[in-house]
Amino acid sequence: MNLTGCGTALVTPFRKDGGLDEGALVKLVDWQIRSGINFLLSCGSTGEAATLEENEWLRAVAITSEAAAKRVPVWAGCTDNSTARAVAKAKKLAAQGGIDAVLTASPYYNKPTQEGQYIHFRAIAEAVYPIPVVLYNIPGRTGISIEAATVARLANDVPNIEAIKDSSGKIDFTANLVRQTPDNFSVFCGDDYLALGAISVGARGLVSVASNEIPAEMTAMVTAALKNDFAAARKIESKYATLLAANFWESNPAPAKFVLSLMGISEATVRLPLLTPSEPTRARLEKLAAELGLKA
């Protein structure tokens, strides 16, 4: 995978009644691309994939792909803690077409061994071959980590497992991934606040939450870091550091969706068990958005 740069883990816009807001999604995708984002991820954690019905998930991916119109690569999230269901879902995604990669996280809740994860990911990759597969390491949500040795084994054994999004929150783990995987395997940081550190140890880019709100700025930050212009990258990071943190003042993506509503881009609606931010958090987010010039 030759892709580098900043990609947005897109929110999935919902109407006030909770239904998929197709029009808002089309506008969001177009605005992201016009703002210079390098690639897009549909239906990841930030996209509330866990609360989407299967038809909604496939539809959201299709809309994202159609709106992108091949201007940037589109990844689609496809995760399940049952290998059989994950494979079945992956086959439906591949049959629908229009995507450039499948992102799949470790099976959540049942805590498989490293060998179990190896077999799980290999089965998904074989189901969608030759579509590239991006592994997703996010132990804070799944309860387990994919060890670097397992990632390296998958990268060497399965031709279309080409990258990983690492949301371990540990720079030393990211560095181990870079060291242990082949040169043609791509490591992407999955934590906005660690992007510069991850790039400094060899990550090829960032899959960002904050770029939902500030796509041009996050892309500029990542681009500068990839060019070893860390002074310029740190200047951007310093300006928006509070926003990077604010997106996690309450459960992601509720804060980001609230800021997007202040920007006039989409509604703040999230699906249970998530809630829109509490009144104190909303007040803090409004103040921050005003200070950063993000309010419509």
Q: Which residues carry out catalysis?
A: 136, 165
CA 193 to CA 2: how far, in whole Å?
24
Do the Cβ atoms of 183 and 159 come closer than 8 Å? no
- The H or E element that residue 193 is part of is none
- The SS3 assignment for 115 reads helix
> Distance (Å, rounded) from C-alpha 61 to C-alpha 44?
10
Instruction: List 166's β-bridge partners, or say none.
Output: 137, 189
Number of helices and strands in the chain (H, E): 12, 8
CA-derived radius of gyration, the chain: 18
Give which of 290, 207, 206 is closest to 246, Cα–Cα: 290
Which distant-in-sequence residues (6+ apart) come within 8 Å of 135 by Cβ?
103, 104, 105, 121, 146, 151, 154, 161, 163, 164, 165
